[in-house]
Amino acid sequence: MTEAKGAAVPQEPAVGSGTDKVPAYSWYALSVLVLIYVLNFIDRQILSILANDIKADLGVEDDYLGFLYGTAFAVFYALFGIPLGKLADSWKRVRLMALGLALWSTMTALSGFAKNATVLTAARIGVGVGEATASPSAYSLISDWFPARLRATALAIYSSGLYIGGGISLLIGGLIVENWNAAYPGGGPLGLVGWQAAFLAVGIPGLLLALWVLTLREPVRGAIDGLPTPEDPAPFRGFLQELFQVIPPFTVFGAAARGKKALMGNLLGAAFFAALAWVLWLLTGVVEQWVFLGVGYYAVFSWTMGLRARDLPTFKLTWGSPAFLCVILGYGTVAFTAYAASYWGAPYAERALGVNKTDLGWFLGAPAAVAGFLGVILGGRMADFLLERRPDGRVWVILFGLIMPVPAMWLAYTTDDVVLFYIGAFLSQMLSAAALGAAAASSQALVLPRMRGMATATFFLSTTLIGLGLGPFMAGYVSATNGDDLSLGVLSTLVAAPFGLVLLIAALKLVPEAAASVVERARAAGETI
């Protein structure tokens, strides 16, 4: 049954949306997840403060640095996030997070031994695969630890680790590099220079944290929403199925198993994305960026077609839902600009404004951690507040995070005054961060409990393959082709804002009805509830 247009509709199932006190253990477990996410983004974002050193030592340009931070990481993070999201929906999420944490910490440490761009790229790919376990597992766990009325807040608290870790990474990285290079001007033990030592220093602690993660208790999936889901007797079967649908060249075999028509469609999709990558290569002269993204977009296409054949209810509530797509793609445009500004802030200030690494850590990194924390927490609380008053409340917060950072970002990257740069960077970070918790909670509200891991993986396809995969590279490419003008490079990413505006305006109209009809639409697609 469809609700009358303009009528107030509930956003979440009634169960778990009351005023029952949340157990203390839920808050303790959330704090551990936040710590994991902090380390996740220290390992990821430390590239920012190390960028100029890597550029000098390895002889690379800004477009490669954007590719290394964004695309090389993002493609594998996104693609492996899909089968790992499925595994999070069927296996022990705590175990999965611990294994992933151990993997990405090891690969971060190995980045410290890179002597050329190829080895460093391979290590960052490994970091992307490991980190792909974190958020699908965490989002699913949080949705089973917290009732619907507090999920945007809880997800925002978890997401604050992004900004805390990103900010701390500049402080840690700057201090390590400058002190190491001062102590060992010609290279230290094993011939390591400052930026290599920084990778080792932030990678090794993650191995210890992985042991702590294993002590967390696994909650009953869906119980808090009154939809308890029994454990999957064969949890790795779905993981392997998804792996064959999304990781080339297994994708071809996966399509062939569905019949000749599916195989033909898959090969045509591969040809289309290969041709697109070739054209973009010719236009830009950059090979790695478009080969990686071409493979990534083809893999997503292949997986989506397979999902439709294997799990129609999940497909209908994600890729088949205009509301879901408008939310994740709309937030993807926020991430497009935010990732570029966050990554290139430190290299820009170091080059254009003459700021040293230690000062960047204290006056850019530390405030960025505070700004991101404040933004994501306040945004999450505002999303929950508005949801109680109007069914499209969360979408308004995403819109806020898209529009409001623009003036602050413009100030930061056009001023010659370092203080004004810090102020602009702080405000830009805080205002864009407000959108994350609202977007994450919105995506979770549009699917069933058993689909939350897959929904999270799909959500991060947008933030990575659009935001992370394109934003930092675009800024670096524009800079490299315009005399290393990072100001122009970063500001060029604001071109995404109009597209995001259109998508989120559509989401305002679509999300309320879609959230109110989740169970109904799932049943219509064949779900047994």
Q: Same structural domain for residues 302 and 354?
A: no
How many domains would you assign to the chain? 2
Question: How high is the pLDDT of residue 243?
Answer: 85
* pLDDT above 90 for 529: no
Asked whether residue 299 is assigned to any structural domain, the reply reads yes
Average pLDDT, integer, range 300-309: 90
Q: How far is CA 97 from CA 35, 137, 381, 439, 517, in A?
A: 12, 7, 26, 22, 32
Q: Same structural domain for residues 330 and 252?
A: no
pLDDT-derived band of residue 296, with 50, 70 and 90 as boundaries? very high
Last residue of a domain, one of 278, 310, 342: 310
Q: Same structural domain for residues 73 and 203?
A: yes
Kindly state the tokens that stand for 47: 């590239």
Question: How high is the pLDDT of residue 136?
Answer: 86
> What single-letter amino acid sits at 195?
W
Q: Same structural domain for residues 162 and 216?
A: yes
Q: Same structural domain for residues 109 and 141?
A: yes
Question: How high is the pLDDT of residue 82?
Answer: 83
- pLDDT tens, position by position, 340-352: 999 999 999 999 9
pLDDT-derived band of residue 1, with 50, 70 and 90 as boundaries? very low
Asked whether residue 264 is assigned to any structural domain, the reply reads yes
**SS3 per residue for 416-485:** CCHHHHHHHHHHHHHHHHHHHHHHHHHHHHCCCHHHHHHHHHHHHHHHHHHHHHHHHHHHHHHHHCCCCC
Asked whether residue 46 is assigned to any structural domain, the reply reads yes
Question: How high is the pLDDT of residue 456?
Answer: 80
Separation CA 465–CA 74 (nearest Å): 6
Greater pLDDT, 521 or 3? 521
- pLDDT tens, position by position, 308-336: 998 999 999 999 999 999 999 999 999 99
Q: Same structural domain for residues 337 and 421?
A: yes
Average pLDDT, integer, range 182-211: 93
Crossing angle between the packed helical segments 418-445 and 452-461, to the nearest 10 degrees? 140
* Average of per-residue pLDDT values in the chain: 90
Q: Same structural domain for residues 188 and 266?
A: no
Question: How high is the pLDDT of residue 314?
Answer: 94
Nearest residue to 331 via CA among 391, 395, 381, 380 = 395
Coil, helix or strand for 307? helix
Q: Which residues contact 77 (CB under 8 A, 6 or more apart)?
A: 128, 129, 131, 132, 460, 464, 468
Average pLDDT, integer, range 358-362: 91
Asked whether residue 2 is assigned to any structural domain, the reply reads no
Q: Same structural domain for residues 338 and 471?
A: yes
Asked whether residue 157 is assigned to any structural domain, the reply reads yes
Kindly state the tokens that stand for 37: 């996410």
Note down the domain range covering 246. Answer: 241-310
Least confidently predicted of 37-41, 153-157, 273-277, 363-367? 153-157
Greater pLDDT, 455 or 404? 404
- pLDDT tens, position by position, 94-110: 999 999 999 999 999 99
Handedness of CA 397, 401, 402, 405 (dihedral sign): positive
Separation CA 371–CA 429 (nearest Å): 6
Q: Same structural domain for residues 215 and 275?
A: no
Asked whether residue 270 is assigned to any structural domain, the reply reads yes
Q: Same structural domain for residues 269 and 305?
A: yes
Question: How high is the pLDDT of residue 328?
Answer: 96
Last residue of a domain, one of 270, 285, 310: 310
Q: Same structural domain for residues 278 and 206?
A: no
End-to-end alpha carbon distance in the chain: 16
Average pLDDT, integer, range 390-410: 96
Q: Which residues contact 338 (CB under 8 A, 6 or more apart)?
A: 405, 428, 429, 432, 433, 467, 471
* pLDDT above 60 for 8: no
Least confidently predicted of 199-213, 223-237, 268-282? 223-237
Asked whether residue 293 is assigned to any structural domain, the reply reads yes
Coil, helix or strand for 218? coil
Last residue of a domain, one of 277, 310, 343: 310
Please answer whether residues 246 and 83 qualify as being in contact, where contact means their C-beta atoms are separated by less than 8 angstroms.
yes
Kindly state the tokens that stand for 338: 């935010």
Nearest residue to 440 via CA among 213, 216, 226, 142 = 142
DSSP conformation class of 14: S
Enumerate the H helices of 89-213 as residue ranges. Answer: 93-111, 117-131, 134-145, 151-183, 194-203, 205-213
Question: How high is the pLDDT of residue 20?
Answer: 66
Q: Same structural domain for residues 37 and 142?
A: yes
Which CATH number covers residue 188? Answer: 1.20.1250.20
Work out the percent of the chain whose per-residue pLDDT is above 70: 96
Average pLDDT, integer, range 484-495: 97
Separation CA 443–CA 306 (nearest Å): 21
Separation CA 51–CA 61 (nearest Å): 10
Asked whether residue 231 is assigned to any structural domain, the reply reads no
Q: What is the DSSP string of 242-259?
A: HHHHHSTTHHHHHHHTT-
Separation CA 394–CA 333 (nearest Å): 16
